[in-house]
C-alpha cells in the first residue's frame, strides 16, 4: 500500500475495562482493523489519567486493578479510514475518537508473503462490472459479452443482490451457443451478428442458464484468502459484495497476480520467499504432456495435435526439442481469417469448440505448416526458475502460459496462471 504524502491518523481513547462481547474492546478494535485491511494498529496503555468520570487512575502497585486509559491508534489512507469508521463508532460506546491529517515521510514494511497482508479485495477489484438480470434474453447476454470482451457476467436482482453468474461454459452447455466467447470474437462482425440473430429465437433467459448462488467474496476479504478460494475452486473470477450482499465489483486471477507483480516492481530488492512445504520453482508446478510439433509439420496434423488438450495449445520445437514457437486456437483463426471463406472459418472455430471436424480440412490446409501459424519468438523459463519470475513475466508480457525448458534448453512442460496462483496461495 502506498502511504506516501497525506494520510489520516485516528486516535481512540478508551478505558482498560471497556468490553466488546466479553472481550477487551481494544483487542476487538485491532481485529476489526486487521479484518478490513488496515495497514496496522497500535494499543497504548497509560500510566495515569482520568476521563469523563473525573477519577484519577494510576499504574501504581496499590492500584493495579484501576481502569487505566487505553489508546488505539492507526494511520491509513482517508478512504480506508472512512470505510472502517462507522463500525468503530458503533463499537465505542463511551470514549473519545479523533482524527487528524498527517504527512507520511516514510513507510516501509517487511514482506511476509506474496500478497500484502494489509490489502483486501476492495483495493484491487474491478468496480465497473457488467451485470444482467434474471430475465435478460440470452441473445442480449451473448452480444454484451462478445462486445465487451468478457467471459462471464453476474446475475443480480432488482436490489443488486447477486443471485447467479453466467460463464462461457454455461453458454456452451445450456444455451445452444456453438462457440466459446473467445473464439466468437475472432469471427467477422457479420458472423457475430448471425450468432446473435440465431440465439434471438431461443426462449432462454439468464435465469435458465446461470449457475445459481455462486461463490462471492465480501469486499473486506484479504487477498491471501481470496487467492486460496480461487485456487481451491478452480475459479478465474469471483463477484465481490458488500455487507448486504449487493454487487460492488469483480476480482480475478489476473488482479491477484498483477498485485504480486506490482509489489515486485515497487520493491525490487525485497525478495519474496515462499513458505516451507510450498512449491518454490516452476519445475515443481509445470504441466507435462503438452503436444509438440516441428515447424514443418503439416497444418492439418498440427490442428489435430492442438485438439489433444483442452488448453488448446501446441508448442513448436526444433529437432533438438528447443522451443521455437507456440500455437493457440486463436492464432489459427486470426491467421486463417484472410485465407478462407467465412463459412469455413466458422466451421473451424466450431471444431475448436468441440464440434465436428470440418470437411475438406486437408485440402484447405494443403501446403501450409505449423511455422505458418505459430507465434514466435516465445518467452521460456528454466525448470529451476522461482515461481515469482513466472508471475513477473506473465504480467509484464500479458501472457497466460510459459513453456518450461531443462538445463539444455529442451521443452519439458508449461506453467499457467492457475498453477502459479495455487502455489502462491499455499505460501500466503
| Tens digits of residue pLDDT in 335-344 | 655 555 555 5
Strands (E), 172-224: 211-212, 217-218
Instruction: Determine the length of the chain.
Output: 428
Tens digit of each residue's pLDDT (9 = 90 or more) over 365-399: 667 889 988 999 999 999 999 999 999 999 999 99
Mode of pairing for the β-strands spanning 237-241 and 217-218: parallel
Series of mean pLDDT values for 10-residue runs along the chain (428 residues): 76 90 91 79 79 51 59 90 92 92 78 75 92 90 80 93 87 58 57 59 82 93 92 93 93 94 71 74 94 92 82 91 91 61 56 60 68 92 94 93 96 95 82
d(CA 121, CA 119): 7
How far is residue 146 from each of residues 27, 174, 350, measured CA to CA in Å?
49, 17, 16
The predicted structure's pLDDT at residue 131: 94
d(CA 223, CA 120): 5
d(CA 294, CA 285): 25
Locate cell 485440402: which residue?
363
d(CA 142, CA 171): 8
**Residue 269 burial by Cβ neighbours in a 10 Å radius (0-12, 13-18, 19+):** exposed
**pTM for the full predicted model:** 0.68
Query: What's the mean pLDDT when you consider all of the chain?
Result: 82
The predicted structure's pLDDT at residue 226: 94
d(CA 146, CA 180): 10
The predicted structure's pLDDT at residue 197: 61
Spell out the domains of the chain, with CATH numbers in brackets: 5-107 (3.30.70.120), 123-266 (3.10.580.10), 282-357+369-425 (3.10.580.10)
Q: Which three cell numbers stand for residue 10?
A: 485516528
Residue (of 135, 156, 145) closest to 212 by Cα position: 156
The predicted structure's pLDDT at residue 63: 47
Amino acid at each position: 500500500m502506498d502511504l506516501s504524502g497525506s494520510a489520516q491518523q485516528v486516535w481512540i481513547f478508551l478505558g482498560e475495562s471497556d468490553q466488546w462481547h466479553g472481550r477487551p474492546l481494544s483487542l476487538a478494535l485491532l481485529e476489526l482493523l486487521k479484518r478490513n485491511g488496515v495497514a496496522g494498529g497500535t494499543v497504548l496503555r497509560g500510566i495515569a489519567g482520568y476521563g469523563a468520570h473525573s477519577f484519577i487512575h494510576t499504574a501504581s502497585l496499590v492500584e493495579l486493578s484501576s481502569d487505566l486509559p487505553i489508546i488505539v491508534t492507526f494511520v491509513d489512507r482517508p478512504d480506508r479510514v472512512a470505510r472502517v469508521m462507522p463500525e468503530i463508532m458503533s463499537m465505542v460506546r463511551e470514549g473519545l475518537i479523533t482524527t487528524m491529517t498527517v504527512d507520511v515521510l516514510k513507510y516501509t514494511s517487511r514482506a511476509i508473503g506474496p500478497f500484502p497482508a494489509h490489502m483486501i479485495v476492495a483495493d484491487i477489484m474491478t468496480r465497473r462490472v457488467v451485470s444482467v438480470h434474471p430475465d435478460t434474453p440470452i441473445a442480449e447476454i451473448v452480444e454484451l459479452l462478445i462486445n465487451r470482451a468478457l467471459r462471464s457476467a453476474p446475475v443480480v436482482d432488482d436490489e443488486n443482490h447477486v443471485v447467479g453468474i453466467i460463464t462461457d461454459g454455461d453458454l456452451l452447455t445450456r444455451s445452444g451457443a456453438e462457440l466459446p466467447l473467445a473464439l466468437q470474437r475472432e469471427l467477422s462482425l457479420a458472423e457475430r451478428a448471425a450468432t446473435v440473430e440465431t440465439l434471438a429465437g431461443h426462449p432462454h433467459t439468464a435465469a435458465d442458464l446461470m449457475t445459481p448462488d455462486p461463490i462471492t467474496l465480501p469486499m473486506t476479504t484479504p487477498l491471501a484468502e481470496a487467492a486460496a478460494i480461487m485456487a481451491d475452486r478452480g475459479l478465474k473470477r469471483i463477484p465481490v459484495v458488500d455487507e448486504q450482499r449487493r454487487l460492488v465489483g469483480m476480482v480475478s486471477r489476473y488482479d491477484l497476480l498483477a498485485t504480486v507483480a506490482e509489489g515486485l516492481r515497487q520493491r525490487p530488492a525485497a525478495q519474496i520467499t515462499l513458505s516451507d512445504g510450498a512449491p518454490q520453482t516452476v519445475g515443481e508446478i509445470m504441466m507435462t504432456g503438452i503436444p509438440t510439433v516441428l515447424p514443418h509439420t503439416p497444418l492439418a496434423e498440427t490442428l489435430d495435435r492442438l485438439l489433444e488438450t483442452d488448453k488448446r495449445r501446441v508448442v513448436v520445437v526444433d529437432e533438438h526439442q528447443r522451443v521455437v514457437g507456440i500455437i493457440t486456437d486463436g492464432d489459427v483463426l486470426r491467421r486463417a481469417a484472410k485465407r478462407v471463406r467465412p463459412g469455413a472459418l466458422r466451421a473451424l472455430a466450431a471444431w475448436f469448440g468441440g464440434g465436428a471436424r470440418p470437411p475438406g480440412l486437408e485440402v484447405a490446409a494443403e501446403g501450409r505448416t505449423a511455422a505458418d501459424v505459430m507465434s514466435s519468438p516465445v518467452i521460456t523459463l528454466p525448470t529451476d526458475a522461482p515461481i515469482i519470475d513466472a508471475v513477473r513475466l506473465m504480467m509484464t508480457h500479458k501472457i497466460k502460459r510459459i513453456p518450461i525448458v531443462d538445463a539444455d534448453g529442451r521443452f519439458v512442460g508449461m506453467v499457467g496462471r492457475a498453477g502459479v496462483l495455487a502455489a502462491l496461495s499455499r505460501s500466503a
